Every structure is written in C-alpha cells, then in structure tokens.
Amino acid sequence: MSEQALHVVIIGAGLGGACLAHGLKKAGISVAVYEREAARHDGLFGFRVVIAPDGSRALRDALPPDLYETFVATCAESPRHLTVYSEGLEELFTTGLPEADRQDARAVPGMRYASLMTLRQLLLTGIEDTVRFGKEFLRYERRPDGRITVFFADGTSTVGDVLVGADGSHSRVRHQRRPRDGVQDCGFVAAYGQVDLIEAARLLPWEMLRGISVVHSLQGPSLVTQPMEFRWDCEGELKTHVGGVDAALIKTWPGLRYDNTRDHLMWGLMSSSRLFPAEPEGLGGSRLIDVVADMTRRWSPALHTLVKLTDPATAVATRAVVSRPVDSQETTKVTLLGDAGHVRVPDPGTGANATLRAAGLLCRLLSRAVADRRPVVAAIRDYEAQALGSGFDFLAYWKCLNRQARLNKPFIGPVLAAGSRTRLRVANQTPKLKRRVAGEFNWLQGGGPAGSPRVW
C-alpha cells in the first residue's frame, strides 16, 4: 500500500480529530475531516482546557513548529497557586503551582491553560483544505472492496479507506460501530460560565484572581474558578507588554480573527442532578444562571454575585456521564477517538490529554502500516488495544462518583464535608500531609494517568 492509496475520513473537527488530521497530513497521508458545525467559529468551545506535558508532546509532534509555538503564545497566564475555600470564602488549604516556562516553546513544558475556542482555532489552522463544515454524519456502509462509504444529512456522501469517529460523547459513529456500548448517567450535572475579568476583580479576593480556587460547600455543590488572562485585549489587539516573539506569532496567526476569547474568570459547578429543575442541556443562558444563583444564595455574597454576572452566552450545563465497559469486538477499518471511544464527562484536562495522546498513537500506527505495507486493520487493532482497551478504569471512576454522591445527600453529606474540611485545615499546617493532599487535586491541572477517577 502506498501513501496515496490510503484515505482517512474523520468525523468531528474537535481537539482529537483536528490533531489527528495534522499528524496524518504531516505524514503524507490523505485525510478529510467532516464537521457538523456550520462554520469555523460556531459551537460552544469557550472554556478552559488544561494541556499537561504528555498532551503538549502530542501537539508538538503533530503540528508544524511555528504553529506549536503559537499554541504556547496563545495560552493563558499560568495560575500561581491552588486554594480550597468554604462557601463563605474561609481559606481551608493552599499550595503553590509551578509556572510554565515560556522561554523555549520547543522544550517539553509544564501545564498549559488554553481556551478551548482558541485551541480549536489553532488546530484548524493549516488544515483548512481538509475540513468540510456543515456536514452532519448519518451513517456508514462497508463496501465489497473493503472501503467505507459515509453518508451525511445533506444528502452527500464520501468514500474512505479508514473511518475515525471523533464526534464526541454522543457519537453516532460509536452508536453504529459498537451498538452494545452504553453510557451511564452518574447523577450529577456540570454547569459552566464566564465572567468578565474586570468585573470579577471588583468582587473577589486578590488570591482568587491569581490561582485556581475550589469552593467546597456543606450543601454538596462544588465550584471551581480560574482567571484566564491572554495576550490580547477586549478588542483583540495585542497588549503593550507582549514580547516581540509572541507578538509576531499572534499577529501572523490567522485563527485569531475567528476567536472570540477575551480575558475572563471561568467557573464550573458540579452538583447532584436532583437540584436542577429540568434537563440541564435545556437550561442554558439566563435560565441556568438563575438556577446556579439559587444554589449559591447562602454562599458568600461575592460568589453569589459572581454567578449572577455570568455572560449568558457562556452558560451551559451537561449531565455527568461515563462509558460502561463492554466486550471487545472484531477490529474493522472503523475506529473511535476521544470521547467517542471513552465517555467521561466531565473530566477536566485528563480527557483532553488522553485524546491528544490517542490521536498521536493512531497517527503513528497508521503511518507505520503505510510505510511497512502492513494491513491497516492490524494497525487499528494495536491502537484499540492500547487506547480503547485498558486505558480507563470504570469501576474506580464509579466508586469515586459514589463518594461524591454521598457528599450531596441531605444528612450525611454535611457531616462528611465537615470532616473533609478538618482534614484540609490539618494538612495545610502539616508539610508531609500537605504534599499528599495537594496531589489529590492534580485532576484540576489535567494530571494523573489516563482513566484515573477525577471528580469535583
């Protein structure tokens, strides 16, 4: 098989699909990406994603060097510390965080904090000729010659040698490829929003504007906040303190004109679904803000007011869901990537980094198969064994969710939360215990091995 003989069709232009397309294009393999959103700037991609060192390696391997350097330049300022508060803003625990080194973009960095919309625009840069927008996937058929025909809602179709479903947690490709796969509702809802950073600065303590903050309430809901400050202002113009190298990268990057990201404070709330009056996906905008504001009405006035100042266009909610394990199936030329393969929502950072690693793995295996004239199915079998086989511990995740569920129960929840607060206060004064407890919050920075349970 020659390079020209292999054509890969990817459904979904999210982080995984776009990263895989970059890698395949760099390897000289024909690729086409089909995205259901109508235009490049559409979709709810306005939130934070944490790129850990392994995720950065995957991006560095897939992207052209100048585009990877642009990724580094467009990340938000790194938080300086992580602090846990009560709902009354009493400090319970704090620990310092290492800052990312911006001196050498080609070096393997620490944690990077990117806007999901910015990262999406960056990954779409350079593959404009391979991405088709407004293409809603319907189904696929395997042809007698071994190729795959893909059908879209607009009546068109395309043909490829390999089909990769990178279409998220509600993947239609997964539904057809692995119909026995199930998704378990975890009984929680994750809600998100953004507040203008200047408005947030008028309300919150200085420390909350320089780090990641976690608010544990006795009533069960938990809140995470982080300031996201970038190198351009509210008009999209470069800030005066930006250095020459970063300035040149950002100015020449065409993706900035599609990016609506501005300085903001992001918040995410995790709560039992019983506290939500309706389906969370239907509670976006002002309705969702009202629901979350009601949950936080007994909290610190600063936090309650912060929620009410949320930009309605950024307020969204989703149910927490996780894949149920199923028996393995025969390998075909149809495979899955990211949340289409292992659903774990929400899973800040860890899921994104696992997706980027998986994209890099699939790219390497397909490239080797082409170079060595090996069957593509064998490469996909190796990929699925490594990326979809044993990389996610469902039972551990489920046990962790059950512990979180107890914190949201009316009577036992406050008792458990009070005990947790005591432990945090003691750890804050005990260096050895403090290091251990600090490690329990690695999930907020995309840390931990793939599949580790990470719950708010």
Q: Where are the alpha helices (DSSP H) in 125-210?
A: 172-177, 197-201
pLDDT at 56: 92
pLDDT in tens, 358-395: 999 999 999 999 999 999 999 999 999 888 754 455 55
Those residues whose C-beta lies under 8 Å from the C-beta of residue 161, and which sit 6 or more positions away, are 5, 6, 7, 8, 146, 147, 148, 333, 376
**Residue 192 pLDDT > 60:** yes
One-letter amino acid identity for 187?
A: G
Spatial strand order in the sheet of 157-160: 137-142, 148-152, 157-160
At 116, list the tokens. Answer: 């999901």
**Residue 180 pLDDT > 60:** yes
Higher pLDDT, residue 140 or 409 = 140
Strand partners, 163: 9, 334
Query: CB of 244 within 8 A of CB of 114?
Result: no
pLDDT at 243: 76
Distances (CA, A) of 295 to 47, 224, 277, 286, 382: 22, 15, 12, 14, 47
At 302, list the tokens. Answer: 């600063």
**What pTM value is reported for the model?**
0.88
Of 340, 342, 341, the closest CA to residue 397 belongs to 342
Those residues whose C-beta lies under 8 Å from the C-beta of residue 362, and which sit 6 or more positions away, are 20, 164, 335, 337, 380, 383, 387
Query: CB of 166 within 8 A of CB of 340?
Result: yes
pLDDT in tens, 30-70: 999 999 998 887 766 557 888 988 899 999 999 999 999 99
Across residues 264-284, what is the average pLDDT?
A: 86
- Residue 150 Ramachandran class (φ > 0 left, ψ -120 to 50 alpha, else beta): beta
Query: CB of 173 within 8 A of CB of 165?
Result: yes
Q: Is 314 exposed, middle or buried (0-12, 13-18, 19+ CB in 10 A)?
A: buried
Higher pLDDT, residue 262 or 441 = 262
Query: How many angstroms separate the CA atoms of 141 and 144, rounded?
Result: 10
Those residues whose C-beta lies under 8 Å from the C-beta of residue 375, and which sit 6 or more positions away, are 369
Query: CB of 453 within 8 A of CB of 253?
Result: no
pLDDT in tens, 110-153: 688 999 889 999 999 999 999 999 999 999 999 999 999 999 99
Spatial strand order in the sheet of 334-336: 131-133, 30-35, 7-11, 162-165, 334-336
Q: Is 425 exposed, middle or buried (0-12, 13-18, 19+ CB in 10 A)?
A: middle
Query: CB of 212 within 8 A of CB of 283?
Result: no
Band (pLDDT 50/70/90 cuts) for residue 454 is very low
pLDDT at 453: 33
**Residue 100 pLDDT > 80:** no
One-letter amino acid identity for 349?
A: G
